[in-house]
Structure 1
């Protein structure tokens, strides 16, 4: 089945969320999205409905659609779903991987390593722009290759959605500095080495450790960012809270 117009709008909005072009509290214009995609507003509304159900957008009656503020509990939930699905699928994935699949896993690791080396040699504080996109693409490809080899298409769909959610949260949590990028590369490399040895148990342990570490790292950064915003008095706008405050103000 081909991509629908709703899928086009969904992918377009998702890209804006992940890139940070749309930020927490910002109002979403369906008309603008429709114009950018060259489609009518009907498929855009369907895409907005899907993203609202996924918790990335809020809809406020008589006000509009807004970008949600990342929630700590949702961040934990997203990582735990990945942890459960990806470690469970490892044994079947290792059994089914072809030589071409294994080569792709190795190349994904090499790409992540190259990004870490580039960050160190150029002495830049954070991985940003095209290098960040390259790193994240290699990261996601690594995980999806394993799920594809496991043959569970529902797991692929769920993890893709959850990974996207992690990337959205990452705009407000992860600071992809040398430490983060180097550790992420090493953990993927350990999974790949275990697969090469034909040891699915070790691969599953490393995958579990990798996702656990990523979650802890994200939560630490998320908490620090939240505390900093609170101290400065510039906490990200929450559209639901703002709407309730406006309604309350009318009666006080």
Structure 2
């Protein structure tokens, strides 16, 4: 369903997913009667207010807690709109907030409940398992919900691909591997929406093929500059079979190529390979 700029859908009778316009950021609401717990809270004040209007105004729910899969501004905009709600995050949340590329200080709010490796929380009929899963960020958390056969994974994936940002690609790959071990049928991403479990394999495939392409360029010999060749890597060469890229995924693939060049990503991998040879 759509409400102005906000899209939302029912994942279960007591689980709602909201997707905002800003970066298609996702918030998932778990309901316990009239009380709601949010996992993430969208990427702009406008989107967060639309969520508030729908969830609280139209549906009559009260947000009692807001948890962050990671403390980046495009996922925590709504925290400041629910001042009475308990805020939850991993203990490394400040590292992520201070190191992000697009920081919005007005969205910042101190988490009241911090955890380290994980915690379990009963909310209505569901047990929410918060599991520290560093990859895209050091504070990254996935929220496993066995009774709903879903897992909220934040920015471990971006649709059928990943976004490298400032992360170690190997950490991202390991994070996706840990999510696969939960064996859930549905994956709720930090952007775009929900996906079948195969999206995790698709994201790993993309990351592995992208690495291979960059490694071949960095270790090869040609008169064409490395930067030019990396910037021209098409997303279609990296996608899993039968996966067709969306406009959103194509945009973030272009960002990945920019990041690879700016941060010399996979350069160490290439150097190690050449030494071993």
TM-score (normalizing by structure 1):
0.25
- Which of the two has greater helix per residue? 1
